[in-house]
Amino acid sequence: MLARRIARIMVAVAAVAAGAVGVQITTADAAAPRTLYYDASKAAEFKADMDQAAAAWNASVSNIKLVAKTPAPITIVAFDGWPYAEPRGLGKGTIHMGREAVQDGFYPPRIAAHEMGHILGLPDRRTGLCSDLMSGHSSPTSCKNVKPSPKEAAQVQRNFGGATVAPLPSVIMEGATP
C-alpha cells in the first residue's frame, strides 16, 4: 500500500515536472472520468432540463461524468427570478433555475446547460452566437442549442484535467443571462 502511494506521488511529481516543459503524461487513472453528482430533487419543472443538460455535457467532455443523485454537491433549485449559478469550487455549487428567463422565451434545457457550465468553471462570454453555450442571453430566444462549443468543452476538459484549479467566483449573477 505504501509502495503504491509512493509510486502515485512520483508519477504526479513527474507529471508536474513534465508539464513545466510542455510534455504530457497520461496514466490509467487519467482515463477514468471524474463523476460529478447533481441533485435535481428541488428543480421542479426543470428536472428533465437538467438531465438533458447533463447528457449534453457528458457527450461533449470525456474526463467528467454528470450523474443524478440525492443529495449531491451540485444542487438545482427552481425559483421565480432570473437564473444564476453559485459555484462553491470546481464541480460544486447551486444552480438557480429561474422561471423569468423561460417566461422571456429562453429554452430551459439551454439555460440548464449554460448554468451547469458555470459550475464546471466557465464564465459568460456574450458572443451572441447560438453555437456558444456560454453566450447566455446574448443569443436569440430561438436558440435551442444545449451543447457546449468545442472551445467551451476543451476548457472544461482542461479545468478537470489537473490537480490544481483556479478559484471560482462565489456567485455568477446572470443579470439577464440564462
Task: Examine the residue annotation and report whether 174 is marked as an active-site residue of this protein.
Answer: no
53 close to 112: Cβ distance less than 8 angstroms: yes
Domain residue limits, the chain? 1-32, 33-173
Class of residue 20 by CB neighbours under 10 A (exposed 0-12, middle 13-18, buried 19+): exposed
The pLDDT tens digits of the residues spanning 102-140 come to: 999 999 999 999 999 999 999 999 999 999 999 988 999
Cell digits for 166? Answer: 483556479
Q: pLDDT category, 32, cuts 50, 70, 90?
A: confident
pTM for the model stands at 0.77
What is the distance between the alpha carbons of residues 145 and 142, in angstroms, rounded to a whole number? 9
Of the residues 45, 100, 115, 174, only one is catalytic, namely 115
Burial 32-43 (b: 16+ CB within 10 A, else e): eeeebbbbbeeb
Q: Which of 3.40.390.10, 1.10.10.60, 3.40.30.10, 3.40.50.10260 is the CATH number of 33-173?
A: 3.40.390.10
- Mean pLDDT, range 60-87, rounded to an integer: 97
Beta bridge partners of 68: 38
